[in-house]
Structure 1
Amino acid sequence: MPISRALLVAPLVLCLLALGSTSLPSEPHLTPASSYLPRLVVEGRAPAAAFLARHNTPGHSGLYDSEGTGIRVADRFRAGSITKSFVATVVLQLAAEGALRLDDSVEEHLPGVVRGHGNSGALITLRALLTHTSGLYDYTAALPAADPALTGVAGPSAQPLSPAAAVRTAVAHPPAAARGSYAYSSTNYVLLGMVVQRVTGHTYGTEIRRRIIVPLRLTGTSLPGARTTLPLPHSRAYHRAGDGTLRDVTSLDPRVGGAAGELVSTLDDLDHFYAALLGGRLLAPAQLSALLDTRAAGGSYGMGIHSQKLSCGTTVWGHRGRITGSYVRSAATRDGRHVFTFRVNTDTPPARSLETALLEAEFCARRLF
C-alpha cells in the first residue's frame, strides 16, 4: 500500500497564534505515532488514515502524516459528533451572558417538546443534556441503516430529519436510562441546538459560525445544512458493506446528524479549535471549569468533551466523531498546548485498544524531534 509521510514545519508563531488552516512545506519524517498508521489501514480496513499534531511549545512544530492513498492535509471531511463540542461551547457562552442557565429545564425553553412515554422535559435540565445524563433514548438507534454494520449510525440512504422529528422519534420510546446516569445520546444535542435557536433567534449553525468559526478563522469548517456534497478540497468517504466491499458515500444529507453530528472540518481546524477551547480563548474560567467537570458522567465526559487518562498519567480531552464514511478523533492536553487529531476515511472505527495505543504513542512517547 503506498505510503505518504510529511513533516509540516511552521514557525512557532503559527503554533501559538494561527487561527485558520495553513499550507506548510513538507519533507519525510517519522514519529512514534506514525508507526500506528499502517495498523489503522490494515486492521481497521480503511483505505487511508492521517493525523495532524500541534505542539504549542518552543522547538516543536506541526506534524502531518498519512498512510494509504486518498487523504491530503487540507481535505474537508465530516466530523460527526465532534459537532457536540462546538454546540456545548455555544451553550456555555450563552450561560455566561445570562441568556440561559444550565439548571433551566428543557420545558422552560421548549414547552411540550419532550413529553410522553415516561419522558418529561420539566424534569430534564440543560446541564443533563450537556452531560448525557438526561436518560433520553438516542434517536439515531431508530434510524433505518443502509447496511447492518451501520447500526446506530445514519446510513447514506436515511431520510433527513428535522430536529423536531428527531426528538419525536426519541420520545416515542421510554427513557433508555435513569435520569442522572450517564448514557450517551445524540438526542441531547439536537435539543440543545433547538434551545440555542429559541434563545438567540438564530440557528445553532449561525451561532457556531459567529462565535467560533469566524473568530478563530477556521476556514475549512462549516455547517452544511442540506448540502450533500463536501466543499473542496476533499477526499472520498467510504462505507464497508457487510460483504466487505467499499461503497463511496462521500455525498450524503448531513441533516440526519444535525446539532449532534453535522460539522464538516479539517485536521488543522480541529486542532486549532481544541487548542483555543482548552486554552481558555472561547470560555470564561467558570464555564471552562463546567465544561471539564466529569463528575456527572462518572469521570469520562464533561460537557461536549471526553476525557481519557493514558497509561503515562497524562489525561487528554477531546471527542470522537463518527458518521457514514468518516471516523475522527481529536485529543489534547488540558492546557491545549499539545493537540492531536487523526482520521480514517471510513466509518468503521479502529479497535479501542489501537486508538489508545496511537494516543499513547503521541502523548506518552519520548519526543525525538
Structure 2
Amino acid sequence: MNTSKVLRRVAIPALAAAVLAGTATPALAADRDRPELQKTVQAYIDAGFLGVQVRINDERGEWTGSAGVRKLGSAAKPPTNGRFWTGSVIKPFTATLLLQLVAEGKLTLDAPVADHLPEFGLDRRITVRMLLQHTSGLFNYTGEYYEDGTVKPGILATGDAWLANRFRSYKPEELVRLALSKQPRFEPGTGQNYSNTNYTVALMLIEKVTGRSYTEEMKRRILRPLGLKGTVVPGDKTQLPGPHAHGYYRAQDGRVADISRQNLSLLAGAGDLISTTQDLHTFFSALNGGKLLPAELLAEMRKPHPKMGYGLGLFVQDLGPNCGSVYQHNGSPPHGYGTLMYSSPDGKKTLTASVTWVDSATRGPAKDFQKLTDTLVKQVFCDEQTGPAQ
C-alpha cells in the first residue's frame, strides 16, 4: 500500500481533530502552580533580555509564562501566545514538506536534485538528503564563517548594513545563484556545515515538483490540517500581525531601532516564518508523534550526522544521564528575536518559546542565550519527579 496516499487521503483530513483534541489541556497558573519555571524564565530578563514567553506541555498539562516587557517604555509583559519571527524553526517544516513528497513517490532521498532543477547547474552529486542534512557543501548565502576566524560575506544579513536594508526583498533564485557563484564549502557528502542555501533550494524543489508555491504547499499540507491559524509564511510582508513582542537593534552610533518590522525574504524556506508558541507546540508534537510522516521517514529524519548531531531538518540532542534525548530546532532571524522548539521522542512533552532583546553588533545579551536555554530545557525534560524523556 502507498503509505503517502493513506496519509493524504485518510490521515490528513482527520488530523486536525486528533491533534487539536490532544492540545486541549488546561493551562495552569504560572506563578501559583509552577513557580520554579517562572523563576527560570525570569532569569532571561535578569541576564539582560527584554522579554520572553514560554509554553510547556507535559504530563502535568499545559503551562504558559512570560517575563520582562512587550516593548521598550511599556510595563506590559509579552503576550503568552503572541506572534514572533521564528527564524530557522521553519527548517523542520520545510523538511517535512519534502519528506511528504518522498512518501508520495514524487522524490527520492538519494537522487540528484539537479534532475528537478536543471537550470541552476547544481553538482549532480547533491541529493535531497544532502540538502536537508546540510551535507551538500553549498556556500551559505548569509555568509560563511570558518574555523580559523575568517569570514566570506554573502548578502547583507547582520549588523548596521542589514539594519539599513532590512526591508529589501529577495527572490529565492537570487539567493541561490549568489551562493552558486561562490566556492563550495566542501565536496558534496564529505562534510556537514549549516547552510541556509540548502533550505532555499529545498523550497524551489518543492515548488518545481508540486507545481504550486511553497506557501500554498505549507498551507495544504501542514497549516490547515493542524489548524495553525497563527502561523504565516510572510513573503514580502514586514508586519507581525496581532499581539506581539518587539525586538530591537542598537546601531554602532547608539541609535536603538525597533525591528519588529522586517523583511525575511532573505531567508526563503530557511528562516521566513511567523508563528506562536501554541502553533509550534502543535506542529512539533504532531511531527514527533508520527502524525505527519510515515514511520520510516520520521526515523530517517531523526538519524543524526555525527558532526553536528543534525538529521533531516532536526537536531538530536542528548541531555545526559537521567534525561534522555530530545529533538529540537531553535532559530533566530538576523537580530532581536530567538525561538525555542523542543520535543520528547514521542511528542508528548514539548517546550516552545520566544525571546526578545536589544541586539547589537556584539550580540548584546545573546551571548548568554544558550546557557539560559540549557537550564530551561533540562528543567523541563529532566524533572526528577517524572523521570527521563521517553
- Place the TM-score, normalised by the shorter chain, in its bin: 0.7 to 0.9
**180-189 vs 24-33, which moves further:** 24-33
| Secondary structure in structure 2 of the residue aligned to 1:64 | strand
* 8 A Cα contact 1:49 1:345, kept in partner: yes
- Residue correspondence of structure 1 range 330-369 to structure 2 within 5 A: 330-346=341-357, 349=366, 350-367=368-385
- The one-character-per-residue Cα deviations of 1:14-53 (angstroms, maximum 9, x if unpaired) are 997437899957463334333222331232x321112100
- The one-character-per-residue Cα deviations of 1:190-214 (angstroms, maximum 9, x if unpaired) are 0000000000011111111111110
> What amino acid is aligned across from residue 310 of structure 1 in structure 2?
L
In the aligned structure 2, how far is the partner of 1:127 from the partner of 1:201?
Answer: 21
Cα 1:351–1:229 shift into 2, 3 Å: closer
Does residue 326 of the first structure (1) align with residue 328 of the second (2)? no
- How many angstroms does 1:280 deviate by? 0.3
Cα 1:124–1:335 shift into 2, 3 Å: same
- How many angstroms does 1:354 deviate by? 2.4
> What amino acid is aligned across from residue 206 of structure 2 in structure 1?
V
> What amino acid is aligned across from residue 189 of structure 1 in structure 2?
Y
Partner of 2:109: 102
> What amino acid is aligned across from residue 133 of structure 1 in structure 2?
T
Q: RMSD in angstroms over aligned alpha carbons?
A: 2.5
Partner of 2:320: 311
* 8 A Cα contact 1:15 1:61, kept in partner: no
Q: What 5-or-longer segments of structure 1 have no aligned partner?
A: 1-13
Does residue 216 of the first structure (1) align with residue 226 of the second (2)? yes
Cα 1:266–1:50 shift into 2, 3 Å: same
The partner residue of 1:72 within 58, 68, 79 is 79
Partner of 1:8: none
Partner of 1:126: 128
In the aligned structure 1, how far is the partner of 2:214 from the partner of 2:306?
Answer: 24
> What amino acid is aligned across from residue 18 of structure 1 in structure 2?
A
In the aligned structure 1, how far is the partner of 2:252 from the partner of 2:318?
Answer: 34
Partner of 1:41: 45
Partner of 1:6: none
- How many angstroms does 1:359 deviate by? 0.7
Partner of 2:301: 291
Cα 1:224–1:28 shift into 2, 3 Å: same
- The one-character-per-residue Cα deviations of 1:214-245 (angstroms, maximum 9, x if unpaired) are 00101111111111111112222222444666
- How many angstroms does 1:341 deviate by? 1.1
Report the TM-score, using the length of structure 1 for normalisation. Answer: 0.85
Size of the aligned set, in residue pairs, is 341
Partner of 2:89: 82
> What amino acid is aligned across from residue 172 of structure 1 in structure 2?
S
> What amino acid is aligned across from residue 83 of structure 2 in structure 1?
R
- How many angstroms does 1:145 deviate by? 4.3
* 8 A Cα contact 1:163 1:258, kept in partner: yes
Cα 1:242–1:355 shift into 2, 3 Å: farther
Does residue 51 of the first structure (1) align with residue 54 of the second (2)? yes
Cα 1:72–1:100 shift into 2, 3 Å: same
| Secondary structure in structure 2 of the residue aligned to 1:112 | helix
Does residue 18 of the first structure (1) align with residue 21 of the second (2)? yes
- How many angstroms does 1:62 deviate by? 0.5
* 8 A Cα contact 1:49 1:66, kept in partner: yes
Cα 1:218–1:145 shift into 2, 3 Å: closer
* 8 A Cα contact 1:49 1:344, kept in partner: yes
Partner of 2:36: 32
In the aligned structure 1, how far is the partner of 2:251 from the partner of 2:348?
Answer: 39
The partner residue of 1:171 within 180, 183, 199 is 180
Does residue 144 of the first structure (1) align with residue 156 of the second (2)? yes
> What amino acid is aligned across from residue 162 of structure 1 in structure 2?
K
Partner of 1:157: 165
* 8 A Cα contact 2:327 2:345, kept in partner: yes
- How many angstroms does 1:277 deviate by? 0.2
* 8 A Cα contact 2:45 2:68, kept in partner: yes
- How many angstroms does 1:274 deviate by? 0.5
| Secondary structure in structure 1 of the residue aligned to 2:262 | coil
In the aligned structure 1, how far is the partner of 2:164 from the partner of 2:56?
Answer: 30
Partner of 1:191: 201
In the aligned structure 2, how far is the partner of 1:183 from the partner of 1:83?
Answer: 18
Identity of aligned residues (%): 32
* 8 A Cα contact 1:275 1:336, kept in partner: yes
* 8 A Cα contact 2:31 2:38, kept in partner: no
* 8 A Cα contact 2:84 2:354, kept in partner: no
Report the TM-score, using the length of structure 2 for normalisation. Answer: 0.81
- The one-character-per-residue Cα deviations of 1:130-161 (angstroms, maximum 9, x if unpaired) are 0000011110121224626x9xxx65624321
* 8 A Cα contact 1:21 1:268, kept in partner: no
* 8 A Cα contact 2:338 2:354, kept in partner: yes
Cα 1:355–1:67 shift into 2, 3 Å: same
- How many angstroms does 1:179 deviate by? 2.4
In the aligned structure 2, how far is the partner of 1:244 from the partner of 1:36?
Answer: 30
* 8 A Cα contact 2:26 2:62, kept in partner: no
* 8 A Cα contact 1:316 1:331, kept in partner: yes
Cα 1:291–1:146 shift into 2, 3 Å: closer
